[in-house]
A and B are shown apart, each in its own frame.
Chain A
Amino acid sequence: MSKIYTVLLVDDDPDYLFQVAFYLRKAGFEVMAVESQAEAEQVILKMKPDIAVFDLMMESDDSGFILCYKLKRKHPEVPVILATAVSRETGLTFGLSGGQDRDWIRADLYLEKGVRPEQLEQEIRKLLKI
């Protein structure tokens, strides 16, 4: 991997954040890991990540969506992965297959939060086409 790709990783669980960031850094990515919507918005103002991974359920229910929207408005070409633990536990499912949802959510991939870091890395590589 010649270019070093930057991942913006946002999750309010500090341990999950640390573990995923640790894994991705080992895998050769540069990782901006922040814990809140506000911090993430600061990061988005200052820099352009190559890809972003947002937790859906941060301090309020829609933080992940809002971040997604804001990032896409500024950098429509940056792929976004939305990760959440909600669906498996509540039975609520909202993938991104429906065109309308995709328009509104504007994420490129929707992932269960329980995914192993290796799997997340694979998905990131797929979206970055590396």
Chain B
Amino acid sequence: MAQLKILVVDDEPGIRSGVSRILGNFHVTYPFMDEDYTFHIMEAATGEEGIEIIDREMPDILLLDNKLPGIQGVEVLEYVRKKNYDIVVAMITSYASIDVAVKAHNDGAIDFIPKPFTPQELKASIEQITKQQYLRRITHKLKVEGRKVRFQFLSVLSHELKAPLNAIEGYLKMMQERQMGDSLEEYASAIERSLQRIDSMRNLIMDLLDFTKVSFERQMEKMQSVNLKELVSMAVVTVSPYAIHKDIQFVTEVKGCENIWADPNDFEIIMNNLVSNAVKYNKPGGTVTVTLDCTDNEFILSVADTGIGMNGDEREMLFEEFSRIRNDKTRNISGSGLGLSIVRKVVELYHGVINVESAPDRGSVFTVIIPRSQVSNLKTGI
């Protein structure tokens, strides 16, 4: 049971006590509300008194007569609007001239209750107003939460973007001030590290682009039959310069279900991230095995590597945004910490799950399972 405060501003005592009587034991309920609303009624005989109570009690709903002895109702309304108070205002008035009505409407009055009113009319209005106030506040709350999440994301992001800049700047200053002597040879590792940081920054920016792409709503017109085997080959080609450098072998096993109904971009993101991770975190001379399989109900894609693996704690934070596993083995591997969080987002768009099994120094297996029935019934947005 929640309670809303209603302030009645009217110079006629009969109206004030009438409102108090009618709404005193009234309650509003809607299926979408968490709880019923009851009302606490406060009364003011003048606009001046009304403003005093508004400032002190902060009512949720204001029932406002326009014709008052001192300042007029519309002036009270103007005050509420200027102060940006979260109050829903309804005018109760017998002489609603069009001018007053327009002004009141422009100043945010959402309802006009004609005087005299029946208990039913008043209750119907209050019901509407309550619903509106409830929805307004929920919307506001959701917006604020959305902003908070975005704010956190952006602040971590700006940190992640600044760190490499600081590092590169530091190395450049060392060179500028000849801190390690005049020979360029002395700076080889500083240059190498700078290039690595630039690389990782570029990766972060690429991942960010992916990230914004998948955050948009699914567009049905982009859905098509996607050949997963081709996507695997493409992912392998993309990563092959690095794979050749590390002497990594690829094995692809297709046991069935080559085609899936999807947005090809999405599965490119999944494939590229998993395959390039499998190379990145592999050991020299290792193997990457990509398996496509299906049952009656599910597509199953798995990417296995013979790399450095990870322990349980590390596995837990793996899919968080900007989480990177930091240890001696990953020190020289650049990554944005976004790749797997993006993959998970995409997989979830298709009502799927992504799992990982891993053992330190033995390797990891990432398995993506997507229900076949759900593929035509996508979530829109995230």
Tell whether A pairs with B: yes
The reply on B171 being an interface residue by CB < 8 A is: yes
The reply on A114 being an interface residue by CB < 8 A is: yes
**Contact at B197–A15, with CB atoms within 8 Å?**
yes
Which chain A residue shows the least CB distance to B161?
A: A89
**Contact at A85–B326, with CB atoms within 8 Å?**
no
Q: How far is the CA of A83 from the CA of B111 in the complex (A)?
A: 56
- The smallest beta-carbon distance between B197 and chain A, in angstroms, is 7
Q: A15-B170, A15-B171 are in contact. Are A85 and B162 (CB under 8 A)?
A: yes
**Contact at A86–B159, with CB atoms within 8 Å?**
yes
Q: How far is the CA of A19 from the CA of B168 in the complex (A)?
A: 10
**Contact at B174–A36, with CB atoms within 8 Å?**
no
Which chain A residue shows the least CB distance to B169?
A: A19
Annotate A99-111 by CB proximity to B: 1 below 8 A, 0 otherwise.
0000000000000
The reply on B215 being an interface residue by CB < 8 A is: no
User: Per DSSP, are chain A's interface residues mostly helix, strand or loop, or mixed?
Assistant: helix
- Report how many A-B pairs have Cβ atoms within 8 Å: 42
Contact of A59 among B155, B162, B174, B326 (CB under 8 A): B326
**Contact at B155–A16, with CB atoms within 8 Å?**
no
**Contact at A19–B158, with CB atoms within 8 Å?**
no
Annotate B151-162 by CB proximity to A: 1 below 8 A, 0 otherwise.
010010011001
Within 8 A of B (CB), among A6-29: 12-16, 18-19, 22-23, 26
**Contact at B170–A19, with CB atoms within 8 Å?**
yes
The reply on B124 being an interface residue by CB < 8 A is: no
- The smallest beta-carbon distance between A109 and chain B, in angstroms, is 20
**Contact at B179–A26, with CB atoms within 8 Å?**
yes
Contacts of A85 in B (CB 8 A): 159, 162-163
Q: How far is the CA of A85 from the CA of B193 in the complex (A)?
A: 21
**Contact at A114–B331, with CB atoms within 8 Å?**
no
Which chain B residue shows the least CB distance to A14?
A: B331
The reply on A90 being an interface residue by CB < 8 A is: yes
Contacts of A91 in B (CB 8 A): 155
- The smallest beta-carbon distance between A56 and chain B, in angstroms, is 12
**Contact at A89–B331, with CB atoms within 8 Å?**
no
Which chain A residue shows the least CB distance to B331?
A: A14
Within 8 A of A (CB), among B172-191: 174, 179-180
- The smallest beta-carbon distance between B191 and chain A, in angstroms, is 12
Q: How far is the CA of A32 from the CA of B207 in the complex (A)?
A: 35
Contact of B155 among A18, A89, A114 (CB under 8 A): A89
- The smallest beta-carbon distance between A121 and chain B, in angstroms, is 14
Which chain B residue shows the least CB distance to A58?
A: B326
The reply on B166 being an interface residue by CB < 8 A is: yes
The reply on B58 being an interface residue by CB < 8 A is: no
Contacts of A16 in B (CB 8 A): 163, 166-167, 170
Q: How far is the CA of A46 from the CA of B158 in the complex (A)?
A: 37
Contacts of B159 in A (CB 8 A): 85-86, 89
Q: How far is the CA of A130 from the CA of B163 in the complex (A)?
A: 31
**Contact at A36–B170, with CB atoms within 8 Å?**
no
Contacts of A19 in B (CB 8 A): 167, 170-171, 174
Q: A26-B179, A86-B159 are in contact. Are A13 and B167 (CB under 8 A)?
A: yes
Contacts of A18 in B (CB 8 A): 193
The 15 sampled A-B contact pairs (Cβ below 8 Å) are: A12-B326, A13-B163, A15-B193, A16-B166, A19-B170, A22-B174, A23-B179, A36-B326, A36-B327, A86-B155, A86-B159, A89-B155, A90-B152, A91-B155, A114-B166
Binding site for B on A (CB under 8 A): 12-16, 18-19, 22-23, 26, 35-36, 59, 85-86, 89-91, 114
Binding site for A on B (CB under 8 A): 152, 155, 158-159, 162-163, 166-167, 170-171, 174, 179-180, 193, 197, 326-327, 331
A19-B167, A90-B152 are known; give 12 further A-B pairs, CB within 8 A.
A12-B326, A14-B331, A15-B193, A15-B197, A16-B163, A16-B166, A16-B167, A36-B326, A89-B155, A89-B159, A90-B155, A114-B166
